[in-house]
Amino acid sequence: MKQTNLSVFVTHSGCPHICSFCDQRTISGHTSVSVNELDELLKTQQPILEKSGTTAQIAFFGGSFTAIDRDYMESLLKCAHSYLVRYPKQYTSLRCSTRPDCVDDEILDTLERYGMRSIELGAQSMNDEVLAANHRGHTAEDVRTASRLIKRRGFELGLQMMTGLYKDKPEYCIATANEFVALDCDTVRIYPTVILKGTELDTLHSEGKYDSFTFEQTVELCAKLLEIFRKANIPVIRLGLHASEDVSGNMTGGVYHPALREICESRLFYKLMSGQMTQPGKYTVYTDKRNISRAVGHKGCNKEAFLRSGISFVIKEETGTLVRAEKM
Ligand code: SF4
């Protein structure tokens, strides 16, 4: 049975915060869904899911689901829940993303009642200096408190982080990832900062007071983050913003690349392989089928990089193996 997320964007109109990076309409590429639109979407998708033998989690994304107008939130939940009840073979559960300071027992009671299974928190960083400098309006302790509550109540916990915000440092991002692991989250999303027109980051950038991490720094850092989460067995379900003309057309800086994840995974595999291929020569690299393109690298970049050090390799499939290199 195939599984998918049916994403519904719920922007936070009237949000009282002024996060330095935020231009919600551009990031989501959508305006908020109405209850009628949601109903129509679920009605239209149901036979398509049935025909293809796919189950879907209905996902409310946009960043602050539990902070939006309560009646609006409940009407969306009610509508989605009615499809969970009527079509349990197509619609399995609900998912949402929200702010760490907008979660308490009362709101979790409501979410639970309507079939919410997964809650993602936009933590962004576990460094209080970075959170304050970017006007997030919550602290790292809020993330810890909300995360523990979500886990205690039996929901699946997702944590989202950004890299390269104002005042951020690579070591802060590594510490954030290690804290995510300690919080025992079930999934992670990593978003390198994209500087969007009209945001505070854009102003700071144009005044020369701020720049995000470079592309190279981001790739190097994200490869390390992927390794931290891989070792902890925590799936990284997203790395980088979704491809969108709104984002590419509105960015004034930062890191955005449609193949960013592939490039970072290539770097991770380069590191894993270089730990085993230390001398020039020919090697056989054994790896699982799903890792072959990562080992070769994005557009063959790993092959080329090793060749520059006098190292060549052929790849052989070995089910379940991450990387095992043998000199020929
Ligand atoms: S990112 Fe910040 S400013 Fe933007 S909607 Fe979310 S809380 Fe509000």
Which pLDDT tens digit goes with each residue over 130-146? 999 999 999 999 999 99
How many angstroms separate the alpha carbon of residue 27 from the centre of ligand 1?
Answer: 11
Ligand 1 atom with the smallest distance to the CA of 18 is: 3
pLDDT grade for 23, boundaries at 50, 70 and 90: confident
At 243, the pLDDT band (50, 70, 90 cuts) reads: confident
Rounded to the nearest whole angstrom, what is the distance from the C-alpha of residue 22 to the centroid of ligand 1? 6
Nearest CA to ligand 1 atom 7: 17
C-alpha 51/C-alpha 116 separation (Å) is: 25
pLDDT at 29 > cutoff 70: no
* Alpha helices (H) in the chain, listed in sequence order: 24-28, 35-52, 70-86, 105-113, 128-133, 140-152, 170-182, 200-206, 215-231, 245-250, 260-274, 292-296, 301-308
Q: Whose CA is nearest to atom 1 of ligand 1?
A: 22
For residue 183 the two structure tokens come to: 């919080």
Kindly write down the DSSP assignment for every residue of 245-259, as one continuous string: HHHHHHEEEE---TT
pLDDT band for position 1 (50/70/90)?
A: confident
Which candidate, 56, 53, 2, 25, places its Cα nearest to that of 199?
Answer: 25
Task: Render pLDDT for 78-117 as a digit per residue (tens, 0 to 9).
Answer: 999 999 999 999 999 999 999 999 999 999 999 999 999 9
- pLDDT band at 187; cut points 50, 70, 90: very high
Q: With CA atoms as reference, report the closest residue to 193 among 223, 208, 213, 174.
A: 213
> Higher confidence at residue 148 or residue 62?
148
Q: Which two tokens stand for residue 215?
A: 């592309």
Separation CA 227–CA 215 (nearest Å): 18
Q: Which residues of the chain form CATH 3.20.20.70?
A: 2-258
Residue with tokens 């380069």: 270
Average pLDDT over every residue of 194-205? 96
Q: What is the mean pLDDT of the chain?
A: 95
The pLDDT of 241-269, averaged and rounded, is: 91
| C-alpha neighbours within 13 Å on the C-beta side of residue 30 | 16
Question: Which of 15, 99, 102, 120 gets mutated to test ligand 1 (max ligand atoms within 8 A of its CB)?
Answer: 15
**Least confident interval from 15-24, 25-34, 155-164, 183-192:** 25-34
**Smallest CA separation from ligand 1 atom 2, residue:** 19
86 three-class SS: helix
Q: What is the pLDDT of residue 298?
A: 97
pLDDT band at 304 (very low <50, low <70, confident <90, very high): very high
pLDDT, position 30? 59
Say if ligand 1 is within 6 A of residue 204 CB: no
Residue nearest to atom 6 of ligand 1 (CA): 63
Q: How far apart are CA 159 and CA 183, in angstroms?
A: 9
What is the whole-number distance in angstroms between the Cα of residue 269 and the centre of ligand 1? 35
- Locate 90 and state its tokens: 């197509």
**Residue 247 pLDDT:** 81
pLDDT of residue 24 exceeding 70, the answer is no
What pLDDT score does 11 carry? 83
Check: CB of residue 59 under 8 Å from CB of residue 7: yes
Four-way CATH pick for 2-258: 3.30.460.10, 3.20.20.70, 3.40.630.30, 3.40.1710.10: 3.20.20.70
- State the Cα–Cα distance between residues 97 and 112, nearest whole angstrom: 14
- Whose tokens are 């193996």? That residue is 321
64 Cβ below 6 A of ligand 1? yes
Residue 99, ligand 1, Cβ within 6 A: yes
Q: Measured on CA atoms in the order 194, 196, 201, 203, is the torsion positive or negative? A: positive
Q: Is the CB of 12 under 6 A from ligand 1?
A: yes
